[in-house]
Structure 1
């Protein structure tokens, strides 16, 4: 018999110099000896990895899936004590086990992740990215112009968008209509950014919304915390985490209800349908075993659970 081997973490190395991103090794996985056949798919692969044979040959040979992610969006993905942690890394690690490969998270700014896929810097992007038609088709929602080939999504969670303010200073903000004439901070090229721009156009005599957009959500929170804006907006899991943890829960509070509930998706290049379908199969496997639900419960996002992996369900 051949002895089993362990794939270990590789050293962090610099990547994406043009955008100042830093490659870091993400969660790495064990692959065992022998074969295991999944009763649902018939696929065989390393022991404990029933979906290995569904992967494209180049991924099988490499033994790794490179993930592009903006690792500054707690609790979805962030660094803690030098390690990459969060909902997305946990789900990616579990998918890697099912697929018999390790996953490697590479840091990049959110607005460069899809172009990074096109440039083959990553195999997939996983970064609390909302699945929508603009990203699927590569059409800019503001200009209506084609800006890329678009991507496919494997949808794994549903989340809405929330508004938050400094604690005790909600200024009677209960929803998006109440932001007219006020200043909001957001992360660039997110659904929150799009919603703020769309709402501002509707404000009329109330006055437009002053929007300050940042490269990441942490910078936006810092601006709001320091009194540089009236409100901020993020995906609900992120806004809720900030309200619960920033300043020991004394910095921010959520206001109003979350809106625009939509799927988070794993972005995959259009010409990588085999990889897309392998990820969907592995996600379905996690849902069947209950491991998916345990991960969501760990991060307090059980309400966003999906019953099965879906492809391109965003509107």
Structure 2
């Protein structure tokens, strides 16, 4: 049987198309599937994993070994509205924000101050609370105002909004001719700072103003208000910056 040149060309084209198709299908098989968004992952898993520092009463704290507080009540309502299960991790403040950036969990459901240097790094929910920074002293201490804090040791949680405002007050005290604080001592957790205050290792502690009443209820005759500083801070929860869809879904529930 005689094969013409035209048939030979057709055969080459057909073989070329088959080779191209085979290569294309092979590439499709090894390429990763389109990545899910944070909300899609939560919905497909049927579970949202959140990290909480249980150190900000009445928003988040421990009672009888369980996470309780206004923030926990709100979180439970949101999770129910989303129709998923909740996995809540109890973590110290140190590293909790880095964890959400590393996708170790879906949400930081603890009271995070909305600060200018954070708004571009995280997807903040709508605010859940507002508070000023409160300087607290041991119950019965003679300090009565900011005029008495020069030369004292003050404690603050590392990286917190309270720490930044204490540094601003220290600068103001020195600018007005005072000594300023003898030391601004950083702590990895608010609980550690409160223990140091109660035990006399520091003279002054720093907390959000909404925490004092619960602290006094938990430990009567231990802490007392000294002064309020700053202009007040809004607190919210945060997701990964790529988790805006989860943030928006949470905001929908908060608006109900």
TM-score by length of 1: 0.64
Point out the more displaced range, 254-263 or 183-192.
254-263
User: In 2, distance between residues paired with 1:100 and 1:123?
Assistant: 16
Question: 2:255 matched to 1:272?
Answer: no
Preserved contact between residue 94 and residue 189 of structure 2 (Cα < 8 Å): no
User: In 2, distance between residues paired with 1:186 and 1:282?
Assistant: 33
1:235 Cα shift? Answer: 0.5
Q: Which has the higher contact order (CA 8 A, sep 6+)?
A: 2
Question: 2:223 matched to 1:252?
Answer: yes
Which structure 2 residue ranges, 5 or more long, are not aligned?
A: 1-37
Question: 2:124 matched to 1:153?
Answer: yes
Change (3 A) 1:276 1:69: same
1:167 counterpart (139, 150, 171): 139
User: In 2, distance between residues paired with 1:166 and 1:189?
Assistant: 23
* Correspondence for 1:116: 99
Preserved contact between residue 157 and residue 265 of structure 1 (Cα < 8 Å): yes
Higher helix share: 2
Preserved contact between residue 163 and residue 239 of structure 1 (Cα < 8 Å): no
Change (3 A) 1:277 1:162: same
Question: 2:57 matched to 1:85?
Answer: no
* Correspondence for 1:57: 40
Could you list the per-position Cα deviations for residues 21-40 of structure 1 after superposition, in whole angstroms to 9, with x for gaps in the alignment?
A: xxxxxxxxxxxxxxxxxxxx
Preserved contact between residue 154 and residue 184 of structure 2 (Cα < 8 Å): yes
User: In 2, distance between residues paired with 1:225 and 1:161?
Assistant: 19
SS of residue paired to 1:135: coil
Preserved contact between residue 73 and residue 216 of structure 1 (Cα < 8 Å): no
Which structure 1 residue ranges, 5 or more long, are not aligned?
A: 1-54, 138-149, 286-315
User: In 2, distance between residues paired with 1:91 and 1:73?
Assistant: 15
Change (3 A) 1:163 1:244: farther
Preserved contact between residue 69 and residue 126 of structure 1 (Cα < 8 Å): yes
* Correspondence for 1:240: 213
User: In 2, distance between residues paired with 1:56 and 1:107?
Assistant: 22
1:111 Cα shift? Answer: 2.8
* Correspondence for 1:37: none
Preserved contact between residue 185 and residue 232 of structure 1 (Cα < 8 Å): yes
User: In 2, distance between residues paired with 1:218 and 1:114?
Assistant: 18
Cα RMSD, aligned residues only: 1.8
1:178 Cα shift? Answer: 4.2
Preserved contact between residue 136 and residue 223 of structure 2 (Cα < 8 Å): yes
Question: 2:77 matched to 1:104?
Answer: no
SS of residue paired to 2:95: helix
Preserved contact between residue 79 and residue 86 of structure 2 (Cα < 8 Å): yes
Q: Which runs of 4+ in 1 moved over 6 A?
A: none
User: In 2, distance between residues paired with 1:122 and 1:179?
Assistant: 40
SS of residue paired to 2:113: coil
Could you list the per-position Cα deviations for residues 267-286 of structure 1 after superposition, in whole angstroms to 9, with x for gaps in the alignment?
A: 0111112111101000001x
TM-score by length of 2: 0.78
SS of residue paired to 1:201: helix
SS of residue paired to 1:125: strand
SS of residue paired to 1:279: helix
Question: 2:183 matched to 1:200?
Answer: no
User: In 2, distance between residues paired with 1:129 and 1:262?
Assistant: 10
